[in-house]
Amino acid sequence: MEPRFPNTGLAGGIALGLLRAVLLWVTVPLSFIAWLLIGLGVGGKYPLRKFLHWVDYNITVTLCRTLLRPLMNDPQLVWLSPKQIVEMDTHVSLFGDFF
């Protein structure tokens, strides 16, 4: 499963990168705690790296479809369900996905 990343212009990419960087400081620790609780409940079905990528991707989609929608060239992104965590490609880069 290769999720589609947003088609942003320069202003949208910079705004997305800055907002995403700030939000990751909050979401990574909370996601880690959620992963621990979920992992205890479902027997470690989701690897941490894929779970964090899934959370990051869905936060990016949320930003693109709400706050940054006027800056996006193609805001037709879809959220991924928890069932798709295991199918996600686990590469994460700072700007490679957005420009």
Q: Is residue 76 part of a domain?
A: yes
Q: Does residue 31 lie within any of the structural domains? A: yes
CB 24 within 8 A of CB 78: no
Q: What is the mean pLDDT of residues 23-35?
A: 90
Task: Give the pLDDT of residue 42.
Answer: 58
Is 92 a member of any domain? no
Looking at residues 18-43, what average pLDDT do you find? 84
**Predicted pLDDT of residue 90:** 58
Residue 50's domain comprises 7-87
Please report whether residue 98 resides in a domain.
Answer: no
CB-based contacts of 92, cutoff 8 Å, min separation 6: 52, 53, 56
> What rounded mean pLDDT belongs to the chain?
75
97 belongs to a structural domain: no
Residue 95 is assigned to a structural domain of this protein: no
Q: How confident is the model at residue 1 (pLDDT cuts 50, 70, 90)?
A: very low
